[in-house]
Amino acid sequence: MELYSLTIHELQEKIKNGDVSAMQITESVFSRINAVEERVHSYIRLMKEEALAAAAKADENIKKGDLQPLTGIPVALKDIVCTKGITTTCGSHILHNFVPPYNATVVEKLSAAGAVFVGKANMDEFAMGSSTETSYFGPTHNPWDLERIPGGSSGGSATAVAADECIASIGSDTGGSIRQPAALCGVVGMKPTYGRVSRFGLIAFASSLDQIGPFTKDVEDCAIMMNVLAGYDPKESTSVKTEVPDYRRFIGGDIKGWKVGIPKEYFVEGIDPEVAAAVQKAIAVVEKCGGKIVDITLPHTQYCLAVYYIIAPAEASSNLARYDGVKYGLRTADARDLMEMYTKTRRQGFGAEVKRRIMIGTYALSAGYYDAYYGKASQVRALIRRDFDEAFQQCDVILTPTTPTPAFKIGEKTDDPLQMYLSDIFTISTNLAGIPGISVPCGFTAAGLPIGVQFLAGHFEEGKLLQIASTYEKNAAIEKRRPTL
């Protein structure tokens, strides 16, 4: 088996035993990238020179016996986290030449843990999208079927793991942007509790919803990544100062007697029959492992999409006002005065989906409409969070489909924004409530496309998610397939 196809914990064991070096692992990953990247397009920018230097340093540390949690492990970074001295574009023309003067906190943490950075992964522009088709640098292709989307907005991060172009990766999740592509690409993806992982150095889309999290090849790797990423950061105002457990101790834990909530609102007409069947099988596996299935209700679920598409664009409208051609990024060359420079820069720099959301958000925040739209949406958001609080009094975790359908074809929904937005219908509520969620592979369609099941838990209960997800993963016996490419 090739080194690039192994998990973090498998590679850790080989490094510890002296069977492989960090350089061998890194070279193996780049050989895979050379073989498949042209077809998949996981990356906006590769960092081969930096990666080989980091691998050489990792091997020196290994010889000294200095082994950190991710020593020698190749990791991809979504191109939304700032990397000092390395272009960070957010998949947008307006930031095509932006070179941050500092690292995001998660980049610092991963670096301190010994990770080798492979490159900056492709994404929907400013994380606005569900298919990685809105990237200025072109779409990413699902490695299971190159004519299909990988999900979004962290599509490049998901495909990099699924296609073995890295061992693990970092994404961001504002309305499902980790869990949805994880499901469509057949990998594990976690959105932590809001405030669990520092957002310092994450280029903002919607500040009350954004959260950074990992993509991995299995649940144990997810726990390893969360051990590195989680924790309080005084540089980030929404970071929560609460104890971080060793997440690996939850792997393989018993779930006998756990109450697993099944919300009726997530099993409605319109779900693809193969997705529904795979999730029903997942429920049966959980029952077999000792979980007790409990019917629950999340009554305000029907309002989630409407609430999200008021709050997220409103916050985006505010956050993206800073891109004006003055301080950094694109500046149009043919403006006669300051106002024309502003308008031309933004017109040329932003893509259609970003412009659409800025306009929606600006309208929702405008005088005379604020109370009717943003104010009302914020009130309903509180009710959505209350739904989850009440549900978790009846159950330990919640189980749902991650997506309503398998991956659709590239271009299939680009002319129908509402259909595109519905791709995140099962993931949006988690961000509105601020709770953690994880997507785990639960099967394949007849056409060989991956399907994911989602587990949700209360605030700061990532350990519970890892416990049930790892137990499910072990007992579900999902066929171990890899994209053929």
177 is a catalytic site residue: yes
- Whether residues 367 and 220 share a domain: the answer is no
Rama region for 66: left / alpha / beta (φ>0; ψ in -120 to 50; rest) = beta
- Whether residues 363 and 219 share a domain: the answer is no
- Whether residues 187 and 330 share a domain: the answer is no
- Whether residues 37 and 145 share a domain: the answer is yes
Residue 440 lies in a domain: no
Residue 449 lies in a domain: no
Identify the pLDDT of residue 416.
83
Residue 26 lies in a domain: yes
| Catalytic choice (28, 111, 130, 177) | 177
Per-block average pLDDT, block size 10, for the chain (485 residues)? 96 97 98 98 98 98 96 98 98 98 98 98 97 98 98 98 98 98 98 98 98 98 98 97 97 96 91 96 98 97 96 97 94 92 95 96 93 95 98 98 97 86 92 98 98 98 98 93 90
Question: What is the Cα–Cα distance from 419 to 402, expressed in whole angstroms?
Answer: 16
Question: Hey, which bits of 141-180 come out as E strands?
Answer: 168-172
Residue 292 lies in a domain: no
366 is a catalytic site residue: no
Quick one: which of 300, 301, 283 has its CA closest to 292?
283
Q: Which of 343, 378, 413 is the last residue of a domain?
A: 378
Identify the pLDDT of residue 418.
77
- Whether residues 238 and 328 share a domain: the answer is no
Structural domain including 354 reads 323-378
135 is a catalytic site residue: no
- Whether residues 345 and 200 share a domain: the answer is no
- Whether residues 40 and 129 share a domain: the answer is yes
CATH code for the domain in which residue 24 is found: 3.90.1300.10
Residue 110 lies in a domain: yes
Q: How many domains does the chain have?
A: 2
Q: Which of 219, 248, 277 is the last residue of a domain?
A: 248
- Whether residues 341 and 242 share a domain: the answer is no
Residue 469 lies in a domain: no
Identify the pLDDT of residue 420.
87
Residue 473 lies in a domain: no
Residue 153 lies in a domain: yes
Q: Which of 197, 223, 248 is the last residue of a domain?
A: 248
For helices 304-319 and 376-391, give the axis angle rounded to 10 degrees.
120
Identify the pLDDT of residue 419.
84
- Whether residues 349 and 207 share a domain: the answer is no
CA dihedral 306, 311, 312, 317 (to 10 degrees): 130
Identify the pLDDT of residue 1.
83
| Catalytic choice (28, 92, 131, 153) | 153
Identify whether the C-beta of residue 175 lies closer than 8 Å to the C-beta of residue 156: no
> What are the structure tokens assigned to 66, written together?
């200095």
- Whether residues 68 and 164 share a domain: the answer is yes
Identify the pLDDT of residue 301.
96
444, β-bridge pairs: 450
**DSSP 8-state assignment for residue 125:** G
| Catalytic choice (21, 28, 78, 154) | 78
Identify whether the C-beta of residue 285 lies closer than 8 Å to the C-beta of residue 250: no
- Whether residues 227 and 110 share a domain: the answer is yes
- Whether residues 219 and 360 share a domain: the answer is no
